[in-house]
Amino acid sequence: MATVTLEALQNELVRDILNIDDMSVLKKIKNVLRREERKTADYVAVEQPSAGVVAEDSEPYMTKEEILANFDQACKELKLNLEGKLEFKTLDEALNEL
């Protein structure tokens, strides 16, 4: 059996993805890729990009559970604010922190 190089496998995968016309399938593939990327991020050594290659900053994606937990927390804080039990920062205060 012939050895498949990383670049050949990447090219094959890109061609397969480009042939998909179903948005839901593409979203599922994207989620699986992100999930697997997070799993292996701790085990893969980061290599320095070679000359002429631009390295992209990997942006961590939140899981559905994390999004729902953050939304739940925001709703609780809003309720407390409406009840007068929690004071929000003003826009000026938030901008000054930046």
Outline where 3-63 has alpha helix (H).
6-18, 23-41
CA atoms of 31 and 58, how far apart (whole Å): 15
- The pLDDT of residue 58 is 60
Residue 20 near residue 29 (C-beta atoms within 8 A): yes
CA atoms of 63 and 57, how far apart (whole Å): 19
- The pLDDT of residue 94 is 83
Q: Where are the domains of the chain?
A: 1-45, 62-98
pLDDT in tens, 4-29: 688 888 888 888 888 888 888 888 88
CA atoms of 8 and 38, how far apart (whole Å): 23
